[in-house]
Amino acid sequence: MPAQSLTSLMSFQPFGLLRFLMKYWKNVETDIGSSNMEGHNFSEFNHQIEDFELAWAYPFGDKSLRELIAKEYGVETKNVMVTVGASEANFIVCLALLEKGDKVIVENPAYQTLAEIPRGLGFEIEVLERRYEDAFEFDLARCLEMMRGGARFAILCNPHNPTGVATSENDLKEIAEMAEEQDSYILADEIFRDIMSEGRPPLSYSLSDRFIVTASISKVFGMGGLRLGWVIAQEDLIEKFEGVKEYISVASATPSEQIAKLTFMNRKELLERAWGFVQNNRPIVKGWIESNECVECSTLGVVNFCFPKLIGVDEVQFGRVAAEKYKTLIAPGRFFGLPSHFRLGYGMRTESLEKGLENLSLALNETSS
């Protein structure tokens, strides 16, 4: 009998959002669909970088980098593993912990990989809806019901992508209690947590070691090109994750780790820059939404993006017209599992945002029914 092929064990759907963005990325002038902050140039940091060897990095993260991450989040170095972006961290956690027959809770709408990783690996999915009419608030009661019903693992994004809504500390505590009762784990992608300048929930791992936290420098610090992330978890889980990482990427890039250290050393200034973008631009986004009859939004969220609803407009066609004719990029909602919406990002200089919104208004005029 022939051996079972890898493709019969795993079957991943195309990453629709990435393919849409990549189609237009290099040809647009304004990107107000991405969830990251406006990026940085190497010249901003090269004067702070001392010479270093271009040899192999330590497989699970340079010790001094892990110490910086641990100090920032109030954990021990042994609880931190460095990864090639948060995406690798999320993939490793699922590969290491999920077992045959497991049911996994995933959110909808969602950043596609968070839902697709467990589904593509062949695990049963239970969908936890975030509803527009409820301002995309986290449905704690339904989540707890799913956990009582046998879901052994849940994947949550907090603050949530693409809606920008944060789950409260009280809800996180109740999830933790249920996870301990049911002997389950929660993967918490907290890549946007630091964008919150006020009302920021605690690191979920600090509430319970049933939480496994992933994050990176891609979003808050606009350094996605470095592909540098991390996972925070109890020591025995970190050891399991290390055993998987050895067979995927082995190690992060040495230059990325060196620049990541500078990110943590300059963290205060970088966060103030990010918070400034959000505070200056949120009123502009609110005004633009209110001025367009075919756009509405039940919440602006707490970070640097929101998820407006379109009335009488196909969001993919809208996105194509905006990109092709007006050189402005948005992220259509169907790639997050919810058509008729789009992700609108505003972590950038105000003049770039205003130009992008002006272009979106023109695109709406052409695509509204």
pLDDT (tens digit, 9 = 90+) per residue, 132-152?
999 999 999 999 999 999 999
- Predicted TM-score of the model (pTM): 0.93
Residue 167, amino acid: T
Are 338 and 361 part of one and the same domain?
Answer: yes
Are 100 and 166 part of one and the same domain?
Answer: yes
Are 52 and 36 part of one and the same domain?
Answer: no
How many residues are recorded in the chain? Answer: 369
Are 162 and 61 part of one and the same domain?
Answer: yes
Q: Is residue 6 part of a domain?
A: no
Give the structural domain span for 334. Answer: 13-40+268-367
Q: Is residue 3 part of a domain?
A: no
Q: Is residue 129 part of a domain?
A: yes
- Higher-confidence position of 367 and 45: 367
Cα dihedral angle (345, 349, 355, 358), rounded to 10 degrees? 50
Q: Does residue 47 surpass a pLDDT of 80?
A: no
Q: Across residues 317-328, what is the average pLDDT? A: 97
**47-61, 208-222, 276-290: which has the minimum mean pLDDT?**
47-61
Q: Is residue 124 part of a domain?
A: yes
The residues, ordered by sequence, that sit 6+ positions from 218 with a Cβ below 8 Å of its Cβ are: 36, 85, 86, 191, 224, 226, 227, 228, 229
Q: Does residue 50 surpass a pLDDT of 90?
A: no
Are 218 and 116 part of one and the same domain?
Answer: yes
CB 254 within 8 A of CB 228: no
**48-52, 103-107, 251-255, 337-341: which has the minimum mean pLDDT?**
48-52
Q: Does residue 5 surpass a pLDDT of 60?
A: no
Are 123 and 204 part of one and the same domain?
Answer: yes
Are 100 and 233 part of one and the same domain?
Answer: yes
Rounded distance, CA 323 to CA 326, Å? 6
Q: Does residue 292 surpass a pLDDT of 50?
A: yes
- CATH number, domain with residue 330: 3.90.1150.10
pLDDT bucket at 347, cuts 50 / 70 / 90: very high
Q: Is residue 250 part of a domain?
A: yes
Instruction: Using the 3D structure, point to which of 209, 244, 265 is the last residue of a domain.
Output: 265
- Residue 319 in tokens: 């996105």
Q: What is the 3-state secondary structure (H, E, C) of the chain?
A: CCCCCHHHHCCCCCCHHHHHHHHHHHHCCEECCCCCCCCCCHHHCHHHCCCCCCCCCCCCCCHHHHHHHHHHHCCCHHHEEEECHHHHHHHHHHHHHCCCCCEEEEEECCCHHHHHHHHHCCCEEEEEECCHHHCCCCCHHHHHHHHHCCCCEEEEECCCCCCCCCCCHHHHHHHHHHHHHHCCEEEEECCCHHHCCCCCCCCHHHCCCCEEEEEECCCCCCCHHHCCEEEECCHHHHHHHHHHHCCCCCCCCHHHHHHHHHHHHCHHHHHHHHHHHHHHHHHHHHHHHHHCCCEECCCCCCCCEECCEECCCCHHHHHHHHHHCCCEECEEHHHHCCCCEEEEECCCCHHHHHHHHHHHHHHHHHHCC
CB 344 within 8 A of CB 308: yes
pLDDT bucket at 45, cuts 50 / 70 / 90: confident
Are 88 and 222 part of one and the same domain?
Answer: yes
> How many domains does the chain contain in total?
2
Are 110 and 242 part of one and the same domain?
Answer: yes
Q: Across residues 214-229, what is the average pLDDT? A: 94
Are 196 and 80 part of one and the same domain?
Answer: yes
**44-58, 195-209, 281-295: which has the minimum mean pLDDT?**
44-58
Rounded distance, CA 59 to CA 56, Å? 8
Rounded distance, CA 136 to CA 109, Å? 9
**30-44, 115-129, 175-189, 276-290: which has the minimum mean pLDDT?**
30-44
- CATH number, domain with residue 226: 3.40.640.10
Q: Which pLDDT belongs to residue 42? A: 75
**Angle at Cα 221 formed by Cα 328 and Cα 203, nearest 5°?**
120
Q: Is residue 2 part of a domain?
A: no
Q: Which pLDDT belongs to residue 3? A: 42
Using CB atoms within 10 Å of the CB of residue 60, give its burial: 0 to 12 exposed, 13 to 18 middle, 19+ buried: buried
Q: Is residue 4 part of a domain?
A: no
Question: Which neighbouring-strand residues pair with 212?
Answer: 187
Using CB atoms within 10 Å of the CB of residue 32, give its burial: 0 to 12 exposed, 13 to 18 middle, 19+ buried: buried
Are 232 and 127 part of one and the same domain?
Answer: yes
Q: Which pLDDT belongs to residue 1? A: 34
pLDDT bucket at 9, cuts 50 / 70 / 90: low
Are 52 and 28 part of one and the same domain?
Answer: no
**HSE-CB for 347 with a 13 A CA cutoff:** 31
Instruction: Using the 3D structure, point to which of 199, 231, 265 is the last residue of a domain.
Output: 265
CB 316 within 8 A of CB 334: yes
Q: Across residues 211-219, what is the average pLDDT? A: 97
Q: Is residue 8 part of a domain?
A: no
Instruction: Using the 3D structure, point to which of 265, 299, 324 is the last residue of a domain.
Output: 265
| Dihedral angle sign, alpha carbons of residues 323, 164, 76, 181 | negative
Q: What rounded mean pLDDT belongs to the chain?
A: 93
Q: Does residue 44 surpass a pLDDT of 90?
A: no
